[in-house]
Structure 1
Amino acid sequence: MRELLRTVDPVLLSWLTSLLADAGIDTIVLDTYTSILEGSIGAIPRRLMVVEEDFAEARQILVEAGHLPAD
């Protein structure tokens, strides 16, 4: 698994997960339960992860969507 980004914005995570799903890329959001345990005050970012094989394509989709800088 590789991390695409970290954010405390659950709406952004939902949108990016949906965007990647439309491209056929499965994602996993890590640290959701830890964030809930700390009261969802935004102190612990959640991580958007994909499998290694999908990383380059997923990253390009997020770059085109304006959520990651281009290299």
Structure 2
Amino acid sequence: MRVIAITTDPVRLSFLRALLADARIETVVLDAHISAVEGGIGAFPRRLAVATEDEARARAVLAEAGEAEA
């Protein structure tokens, strides 16, 4: 698994997942449970990961949508 995005914004996370799902790339949200425990204050970011073999294609999809990580 490769992390391709880190965010505290649940709306952005959902958008990124939708972009990748449209490209038929499966995603996994890491740290989702700690984010729930924190009470929604946004202190702990969630990481979006894809399979290693999908990383280049996933980064290309996000870049095309203007959502590339710095």
Q: TM-score range by the shorter chain?
A: over 0.9
Aligned to 2:46: 46
Please say if residues 4 and 69 of structure 2, whose CA atoms lie closer than 8 Å, have aligned partners that are also in contact: no
Query: Which structure ranks higher in relative contact order (CA pairs < 8 Å, sequence separation ≥ 6)?
Result: 2
Gaps of 5+ in 1: none
Query: Size of the alignment, in residue pairs?
Result: 70
TM-score (normalizing by structure 2)? 0.93
Calculate the aligned-residue CA RMSD, in Å.
1.3
Write out the 4+ residue segments of structure 1 that deviate beyond 3 Å after TM superposition: none
Alignment of 1:1-71 (within 5 A): 1-68=1-68
* Structure 1 Cα separation of the partners of residues 69 and 5 of structure 2: 11
Query: 1 CA distance for matches of 2:39 and 2:23?
Result: 33
TM-score, length-normalised on structure 1?
A: 0.92
Identity %: 57
Deviation per residue, 1:24-53 (Å, 9 max, x gap): 100001111101101110100000000000
Structure 1 residue 69: Cα displacement: 5.2
Output the CA distance in 2 between the equivalents of 1:7 and 1:69.
10
CA 1:20–1:48 in structure 2 vs 1: closer, same or farther (change >3 Å)? Answer: same
Structure 2 gaps of 5+ residues are none
